[in-house]
Amino acid sequence: MRFCPCCGDSEKPVPDRDPVLLVSGMGGSILNSKPKKFGFITRVWVRILLADLEFRKKIWSIYNPQTGYTETLDKKSEIVVPDDDHGLYAIDILDPSWFTKCIHLTEVYHFHDMIDMLVECGYVKGTTLFGYGYDFRQSNRIDKLLDGLKLKLETAYKASGGRKVNIISHSMGGIMILCFMSLHKDVFSKYVNKWICLACPFQGAPGCVNDCLLTGLQFVEGFKSYFSVSRWTFHQLLVECPSVYEMLANPEYEWKKQPEIQVWRKHTKDGNISVNLESYGPYQSITLFEEALRHNELNYNGKTVSLPFNLAILKWAAGTRQLISNAKLPDGVSFYNIYGTSFETPFDVCYGSEKSPIDDLSEICQTMPQYSYVGGDGTVPAESAKADGFEAIERVGVATEHREILRDKTVFQLIQKWLGVEPMVSKQSKTSKVADTGAIKPIIL
């Protein structure tokens, strides 16, 4: 134990801790729109008020095959991730407005509870506790993201006095860690001690990702969805996101059962109508995506932008899949895996029905899916999440959902055990409350 002077004659112990770096996943970072010249910075993800409008204006994007980056249609601004609070602010409460805090909208309390838990266990922000939020639209192997991760690891290593870093990643954050480990193995070995992986789609998230590319994503359900980004608005972004294509089902993995997209099709020949159920595996689905999205487009500032299934992104994503399939855990790095179980998780997805079949495949984009389910966390099948291919120190299934895994008590107990720590203070005295930087920086809307 080290000691630091406090007021009076008393001294409080400051525990020795190896630094922890928290790495978020898809949708797990605040994204701001920053004017390239001058003007207000606007939070575009996540926000409750005017969510859909600001999303369309500021974050709709198109992939640039020349650079490998997805670039916003708004040429006057750029998407940035705030680095306040040593990177923790961007992954804590995703809409940190006072309104959201008043109603305590659980869906946006992302790493918040875990940050609280770690502070209670003696971790200190900026010394032994850091966060890494990033532009999750981009490929998990793109230079800007990996350079940012490298800088975070170096910062944590130096700030803690040369101690190796323990990474805790969530969901797609684990895919980025795999890419970094493959491309920068020596750097990973130098700075990383342990990697605790939560709910990572190692072999993909078939049901959810297939449907994301065809009909979109609803971030929150029920009445709350009226205050969030609409399913279709989200869809028009995801079609141009390399990160989404990188989470398609791994076609080379030996699944217990190959994931499928099923479509009830209506065919007319010689005046006769027939209805049959067509099935598409991971390879065959590419043809389906192309047909279903061939007319997909959006209107931006009065201009029509074509957004078909992007074969250039698919080719890039295939390279990413090869990269992560070849990833090797460096000697001296301990790996732990926690995956969710016991919840119905989309696996196969079906469009149309025998009574209401699909005539033209482009109609799929305007329908709602029917899923067949397997065990998992509601988003990532357990089969995929535990298929890491490494010699894990421990690999544990916990009955919890995909986002809830970040606040689950059993998960916290496992993390504390693997880090070799325990709570030092009561909940009443925890100190990791995150204020809206909008209260400090009025330029954030």
Instruction: Determine how β-strand 261-269 pairs with β-strand 343-351.
Output: parallel
* Residue carrying structure tokens 């020949």: 269
Q: Is 402 a catalytic residue?
A: yes
What is the helix (H) or strand (E) element at residue 197, kind and residue range? strand 192-198
- What's the rounded Cα separation, in Å, for the pair 59 and 148? 21
Instruction: Determine how β-strand 31-35 pairs with β-strand 42-45.
Output: antiparallel
The whole-angstrom distance between residue 68's C-alpha and the CA centroid of its chain comes to 19
> Is residue 228 classed as helix, strand or coil in its secondary structure?
coil
Q: What distance, in Å, lies between the first and last C-alpha atoms of the chain?
A: 43
Which residue is catalytic, options 402, 408, 432, 436? 402
* Residue carrying structure tokens 């900026």: 126
Cα angle value 287/212/34 (rounded, 5°)? 120
> Is residue 410 classed as helix, strand or coil in its secondary structure?
helix
Which residue is catalytic, options 33, 61, 139, 171? 171
- What's the rounded Cα separation, in Å, for the pair 118 and 58? 34
What is the helix (H) or strand (E) element at residue 272, kind and residue range? strand 272-280
Which residue is catalytic, options 85, 377, 388, 436? 377
Sort 97 into a burial class: Cβ within 10 Å, 0-12 / 13-18 / 19+: buried
Categorise residue 420: left if φ over 0, alpha if ψ from -120 to 50, beta otherwise: left
Residues in the chain: 445
By annotation, the residues acting in catalysis are: 171, 377, 402
